[in-house]
Amino acid sequence: MPNIGFTEILLIGTVALLIFGPKRIPEAARGLGKAFKSFKEGLKESAQEDEKKKDKGKK
């Protein structure tokens, strides 16, 4: 994965500011954070279920 420099981050922030406006950026970031959190929890639950199935298969 290529490295993202300061200029690219600044450009992304400027575009986000233009699209969402200053009031909606915190809401959008909060929603994105919640989405990532639920995705990680889903992956964790899936991994735990797979591990349980492996343990049952070994016995």
Rounded distance between C-alpha atoms, residue 19 and residue 25, angstroms: 9
Does the pTM exceed 0.75?
no
User: Smallest Cα–Cα separation from 57: which of 27, 49, 25, 6?
Assistant: 49
Q: In tens digits, what is the pLDDT along the chain, a chain of 59 residues?
A: 578 899 998 999 899 889 888 888 889 889 999 999 999 999 999 888 888 887 777 66
